[in-house]
Amino acid sequence: MSASLDRESEDRPSKRPRHESEAPVAAASLSFSTIPEVHVDVVRDSEFWLLDGNVVLIAQKTAFRVHQSVLARHSTVLADLFTVPLPPSSDARETMDGCPVVQLHDSPDDLRYLLKALYDGPSMLHHGTVMPFPTAAALYELAHKYNIGSIRSDVHARLKTCFTHSFSVFKSTLTWKMERPDTVLPGTRTEWPVALCSPALEADIKRDAIRAVNLAHLSGDPLMLPIPLYLCAMLPSASIASGIKRADGQVDSLSKEDQIRCFDGRATFMLRRVKRYGRTWLVGPSAQCHDPVCQTVFNGWVKSHLGRRDFPGDVHALRHIPPSKLEHSRLCQECHRDLVRRDLEEHRYIWEKLPTDLGLNVQGWDASLPGVI
């Protein structure tokens, strides 16, 4: 028995953006081949070749021997496949080690993630662990494709911990992983964000940003879209225009509409970052300040700022300012309090404007911060 879950050719273009939620594989699209295929150079997967398995899934050149009952229990698509009547001729039945074969047009690595979630769900999906974004993306995409609701819901919740719509969540639980670039040019930052991390997910900007945008579109959740687009705005222009190549050779690319959003947004973010710096650090001492040292400190910041021909011109307007930078030992308590308040106000304002700066109309975007007036 040989089955195919995708009528598209295996050599179809691997580069395509997704604009809207795609429906799971329809049961009507499933079909059986009447000519057994010859498997050349097929390799048994080292992790999922189960000796008591009764069906073989082949993704590209990797074979997975698993259980029909496990697949059918979780996926309505695969359950329908296994109930399709077999062709009457035994010659049409393709087998491998005595098990019927199902041909899948998926990445072997992605399929392995899905099988691991089905067989080892509690240990893999436990929210106390940080999951790399490629794992989460693979799980969501295949759970959507094969209509595995439990995994899709679980991974969606995990994605929302990172691609949040809540400023309170963003401020309190998310962190930026920063690294010093190999080359620091005049007018550039000495540190640059390389990843956005939540307690449950880590997204590498250069590797994952575009796939995250397409995943947000696939999910049909508009509240999940602004943060991935913001990450894309920090990519090199060539990546925004041409896409990012995955380790398996597939290319994640943005739609033309999303490319425009990123190019337009990055200019706005750069301006907002400059304004945030000026409105936070260059406004002078507090009205309640009576310490002349504070005025000297602010004068020094203004002089340093105006004396620079090249202000660090990057788009990372949502960077969390480290408390150590805000806690200047020479400022009085009143000036320090006002400095922290101003930075929070500017940070929250940038967050509030994020969807519109990206050309989005997102209902329910939350810029509130409970407990702060």
List the chain domain ranges: 2-160, 269-357
DSSP 351: H
pLDDT over 70 (residue 186)? no
Distances (CA, A) of 149 to 141, 142, 283, 339: 11, 11, 53, 47
Distance of alpha carbon 324 from alpha carbon 329, whole angstroms = 10
> Which residues touch 130 (CB under 8 Å, ≥6 apart)?
197, 198, 199, 200, 201, 202
Nearest partner of 102 among 6, 13, 23, 22, judged by Cα: 6
CA nearest neighbour of 209 among 134, 284, 283: 134
Among positive and negative, which fits the CA dihedral 157, 159, 162, 168? negative
- State residue 7's pLDDT score: 40
Max Cα–Cα distance, the chain, nearest Å: 95
β-pair partners for 203 = 196
Q: What burial class does residue 42 get, using C-beta atoms within 10 Å of its C-beta: 0-12 exposed, 13-18 middle, 19+ buried?
A: middle
- Which of 152-156, 354-358, 366-370 is least confident? 366-370
Superfamily of domain 2-160: Potassium Channel Kv1.1; Chain A (3.30.710.10)
Provide the token pair at 289: 């300040």
Q: What is the pLDDT of residue 132?
A: 94
128 or 186, which is more confident: 128
pLDDT tens figures, 212-254: 999 999 999 999 999 999 999 999 999 999 999 998 888 999 9
d(CA 125, CA 5): 26
How far apart are the C-alpha atoms of 56 and 98, rounded to whole Å?
Answer: 9
Contacts (Cβ under 8 Å, ≥6 apart) of 110 = 59, 138, 141, 142
Rounded mean pLDDT of 180-192? 59
Q: In 3D, which of 14, 317, 364, 325 has the Cα closest to residue 160? A: 364
